[in-house]
Amino acid sequence: MSITNLPYCANADDVYAQEHCRLDVYRPADGPAEAALVWFHGGGLTSGSKEDGPTCRIAASRAADGLWVAVPNYRLSPRARFPAYLDDDAVAWVWHHGGKHGAPARPLFLAGHSAGGYLTLMTGLETGRLRQAGVPTDAIARPIPVSGQATTHHTIRAERGSSRFQIIVDDAAPARWVRRRTPPILLLYASRDMPARAEENVWFAALMAGAGNPHVEARCIDHRDHGSAGNNIAMDRDPARQALLEFVRAHAQARP
């Protein structure tokens, strides 16, 4: 069961945002959902959409597993630049309006693949935008990034004239927001991920552990590359799919 093209952007002055910032909702066919999940598509912040085949299959598989799933489009570079991707706040819309479309009240999980994993971490850790949108800090539950970046995203670095592997950690980097107290976080990455991406996830988990945070787990998905780490979540018995569902069910009743 799905609902398509729900507008979520409150920025009436940006025509691109008004046209592009829409989301689809996937609901379980039988009974109420166990939890609500916002899934951010990948594409390097320059491409991808909620209509892409892998994204649709992932969302449908999550709904088949008993979750309520919102899949938003968000503005893309170069037509938009940082921080537009984060300002397109589908999460706040789901918090305020998701219940009208069948979303359970709590908790709200965030997940996504690649660039979507980066947005998952940034939204879950740098919570100032959500507070400004009237979303309480404890409303955002546990981020589940799949092959996401912990440093400033390479597309944002390119917008600033830096090279892909000129590593930067500033306010646009999830690693900037490392701290001792966060909700539980599940980092998923591939054994054959893109260069430095697996190591970046291990490094981010180590930073959190060094800060005294015991709630961050990094899990390697064997026999996967960067693309299949996310896309195969739509498949039955996929280890990343199972890990995500186990994590959601373990934390669905607890407050952040």
Please give the residue range of the domain that contains residue 158: 2-251
122-134 tens-digit pLDDT: 999 998 888 888 8
In a domain, 256, yes or no: no
> Average model confidence (pLDDT) for the chain?
93
Pairing outcome for strands 67-72 and 108-113? unpaired
137-191 tens-digit pLDDT: 777 768 999 999 999 999 999 999 998 889 999 999 999 999 999 999 999 999 9
In a domain, 183, yes or no: yes
Neighbouring-strand partners of residue 188: 146, 219
Rounded to an integer, the average pLDDT of 22-33 is 93
In a domain, 61, yes or no: yes
Report whether pLDDT(226) > 50: yes
The 3-state secondary structure of the chain, one letter per residue: CEEEEEECCCCCCCHHHHHHCEEEEECCCCCCCCEEEEEECCCCCCCCCCCCHHHHHHHHHHHHCCEEEEEECCCCCCCCCCCHHHHCCHHHHHHHHHHHHCCCCCCEEEEEECHHHHHHHHHHHCCHHHHHCCCCHHHEEEEEEECCCCCCCHHHHHHCCCCCCCCCCCCCCHHHHCCCCCCCEEEEEEEECCCCHHHHHHHHHHHHHHCCCCCEEEEEEEEEEHHHHHHHHHCCCCHHHHHHHHHHHHHCCCCC
Residue 241, both tokens: 């799919």
Residue 114 to residue 61: CA distance in whole angstroms: 18
Q: Can you give the pLDDT at residue 12?
A: 63
In a domain, 99, yes or no: yes
Residue 66 to residue 231: CA distance in whole angstroms: 19
In a domain, 40, yes or no: yes
Question: For the chain, what is the domain count?
Answer: 1
Q: Can you give the pLDDT at residue 256?
A: 47
For the chain, give the longest Cα–Cα distance: 50
Residue 186 to residue 111: CA distance in whole angstroms: 9
Q: Can you give the pLDDT at residue 217?
A: 97
Q: Can you give the pLDDT at residue 254?
A: 63
Neighbouring-strand partners of residue 35: 67
* CATH classification of the domain holding 34: 3.40.50.1820
